[in-house]
Amino acid sequence: MIHPRPLLGEPRGTDRPYLAINMVATLDGRAALDGSAVGIGSTADKRLMRELRAEADVVLHGAGTVRADPLSARVPPDLVEQRLARGLSRQPLGAIVTRSGDLPVRHPYYESSSVIYVTSSATVAVELPTVEVCRVSTVVDVLQNLARRGARRVLCEGGPTLNSALFANGLVDEVFLTIAPKLVGGEDPLTIIKGPRLPSTIHLELRSLVELEGELFLRYAVTPSPSGRGRG
Ligand SMILES: NC(=O)c1ccc[n+]([C@@H]2O[C@H](COP(=O)([O-])OP(=O)(O)OC[C@H]3O[C@@H](n4cnc5c(N)ncnc54)[C@H](OP(=O)(O)O)[C@@H]3O)[C@@H](O)[C@H]2O)c1
């Protein structure tokens, strides 16, 4: 088993849910190979990703990840049973954050209930009964809106630009990072955070470290600081 259970924590207050980020990178820090995260992690990493989803009320993605990868927020049938046993819905709610509204009209993501959070007045061409479009101003509003919907645990699966906004706003409680035993090189590496320098350094505390066939599975908690959570 990778990491002790439960995988996800508890919300620390009522204003926003607990939020964990789950990412995979190569040993040289790359978060994408040829524009996609597919192919970085092993089968064990994919299993961990699904098990994290199985504990989440909501799985959150940035629009760039949805455009890049044919992913969804769903769990496979064996984990649906686990979710129901925990009193959760059959599938996590999928949530996408976009400013441009530029999302594919058809995508596997929309096969189960999803919300598209738009931080502008841009048009969203997705019109499906499973998909709600919700206007917000910032990622802080996204988390507050999810709390109002009853979400207690949110799993963000990136990408790097969304991660940056979440860290910059002090919204992240824990980080799950898989380091795949691979080197790929290349110019301008995309790492797990993309954006302006964070307002202050975020300090992390190691909670769990598991090695499986050379792949490292890390779980870190963001440590609170005197000037506010997530601020160094
Ligand atoms: N290694 C991993 O674990 C992992 C995980 C996920 C993704 N990836 C890879 O990361 C790459 C995509 O990177 P990315 O940084 O573009 O991904 P991203 O963060 O998923 O997408 C960026 C886009 O999301 C929206 N967004 C992000 N933050 C926002 C905010 N604060 N407010 C409003 N909208 C916001 C914007 O969408 P609009 O452009 O629509 O306005 C923005 O351009 C892909 O290659 C993907 O495969 C890797």
User: pLDDT of 12-60, one tens digit each?
Assistant: 988 899 999 999 999 999 999 999 999 999 999 999 999 999 999 999 9
Question: Which residue did the predictor score with more confidence, 224 or 111?
Answer: 111
Sign of the alpha-carbon dihedral angle for 222, 7, 143, 122: positive
List 12's β-bridge partners, or say none: none
Domain-located, residue 137: no
Q: Provide the residue range defining the domain that includes 214.
A: 18-89+152-229
Which of 71, 1, 36, 61 has its CA nearest to residue 217?
A: 1
Can you tell me which atom of ligand 1 is nearest the CA of 163? 19
Averaged confidence pLDDT in the chain? 95
- 232, pLDDT greater than 70: no
Q: How far is the CA of 157 from the centre of ligand 1 (A)?
A: 10
Q: How many domains does the chain have?
A: 1
Q: Please count the other Cβ atoms lying within 10 Å of the Cβ belonging to residue 169.
A: 16
Domain-located, residue 123: no
Q: Is the CB of 68 under 6 A from ligand 1?
A: yes
User: Which residues, in sequence order, are CB contacts of 216 under 8 Å at separation 6+?
Assistant: 178, 179, 209, 210
Domain-located, residue 38: yes
- 161, pLDDT greater than 90: yes
Q: Alpha-carbon distance 164 to 121, whole Å?
A: 22
Q: What is the pLDDT of residues 47-103, one digit of tens each?
A: 999 999 999 999 999 999 999 999 999 999 999 999 999 999 999 999 999 999 999
Q: Report the residue among 161, 166, 178 best suited for mutation to probe ligand 1: largest number of ligand atoms under 8 A from its CB.
A: 161
Q: Look-up: residue for tokens 């009853």?
A: 150
Q: Is the CB of 24 under 6 A from ligand 1?
A: yes
Domain-located, residue 6: no
Can you tell me which atom of ligand 1 is nearest the CA of 160? 15
Q: What is the pLDDT of residue 92?
A: 98
Q: Report the residue among 144, 162, 198 best suited for mutation to probe ligand 1: largest number of ligand atoms under 8 A from its CB.
A: 162
User: Which residues, in sequence order, are CB contacts of 188 under 8 Å at separation 6+?
Assistant: none
Q: Alpha-carbon distance 103 to 122, whole Å?
A: 11
Contact between 66 and 109 (Cβ < 8 Å): yes
**Which helix H or strand E contains 207, and what residues bound it?**
strand 204-212
Q: Alpha-carbon distance 104 to 96, whole Å?
A: 12
Q: Is the CB of 161 under 6 A from ligand 1?
A: yes
Domain-located, residue 96: no
Q: How far is the CA of 158 from the centre of ligand 1 (A)?
A: 6
Query: What CATH code is carried by the domain that includes residue 159?
Result: 3.40.430.10
Q: Whose CA is nearest to atom 25 of ligand 1?
A: 98
Which of 74, 38, 52 has its CA nearest to residue 2?
A: 52
